[in-house]
A and B are shown apart, each in its own frame.
Chain A
Amino acid sequence: EDQVTQSPEALRLQEGESSSLNCSYTVSGLRGLFWYRQDPGKGPEFLFTLYSAGEEKEKERLKATLTKKESFLHITAPKPEDSATYLCAVQASGGADGLTFGKGTHLIIQP
């Protein structure tokens, strides 16, 4: 069974204080790993797709990396508007469509 574990569950940072969120995964065959941002009561907003170990993607203050067992979402010099829940999800190979999500990391950036 596919499993995704995210840590920490919650993280409080000062504005400008960089950090990393972790996503460990177990999947029979990885078709893709996805990072989403979700604000309360809203739909997950797509951030990145990673396909293979060693891949990195970057967007503004966010950078996602992937190894064979985990992914990291690095946040550089965050701003209060980066406060949200960050979700990691995997899609398995072999024809499965559904994403398996982790529980998310609730990130709060204090001014």
Chain B
Amino acid sequence: AAGVIQSPRHLIKEKRETATLKCYPIPRHDTVYWYQQGPGQDPQFLISFYEKMQSDKGSIPDRFSAQQFSDYHSELNMSSLELGDSALYFCASSHPLAGGADTQYFGPGTRLTVL
């Protein structure tokens, strides 16, 4: 079965640079979520999009922005990178399920290293 695709899988940047992470959801999934997982930490919710509109916002820094495009793929843009931004970034996708919670399926992640 098709899974969530993330690119790139690894990214190395210098402090103060910018980075763009891409996410391609499972076909027919219309909601996309972004999470950040620091070393030894649990995933922290950043932001989500439903039908190309921002749906919910978590602990996303002001330096980060995201959007969902007409083909439902999403991009996370990160500017003025800091050492503390080094982490695994996961994208997840889901499809609305009437009357219940939407199960989120996670991608393989992008490992961002800021030097």
A95-B56 CB under 8 A given contacts A31-B101, A32-B100, A100-B45: yes
B106 / chain A contacts, CB cutoff of 8 Å: 36, 43-46
Bits for A69-98, please: 1 = Cβ < 8 Å to B, else 0: 000000000000000000100010001111
- Name the interface size band of chain A: 20 to 34
A96 / chain B contacts, CB cutoff of 8 Å: 56
Contact check, B42 vs A102: say whether CB atoms are below 8 A apart.
Answer: yes
Across the two chains, which residue of chain B brings its CB closest to A48? B103
Cα distance A96–B114 in the bound complex, in angstroms: 31
A98-B90 CB under 8 A given contacts A34-B103, A43-B108, A45-B106: no
CB distance from A81 to the nearest CB of B (A): 19
B111 / chain A contacts, CB cutoff of 8 Å: 41
Cα distance A31–B100 in the bound complex, in angstroms: 7
CB distance from B99 to the nearest CB of A (A): 9
Cα distance A102–B88 in the bound complex, in angstroms: 17
B102 / chain A contacts, CB cutoff of 8 Å: 32, 91, 97
Contact check, A99 vs B103: say whether CB atoms are below 8 A apart.
Answer: no
Contact check, A97 vs B101: say whether CB atoms are below 8 A apart.
Answer: no
A interface residues (Cβ-Cβ under 8 A, vs B): 31-32, 34, 36, 41-46, 49, 51, 87, 91, 95-104
B interface residues (Cβ-Cβ under 8 A, vs A): 4, 31, 33, 35, 41-46, 48, 50, 55-56, 58, 88, 90, 100-109, 111
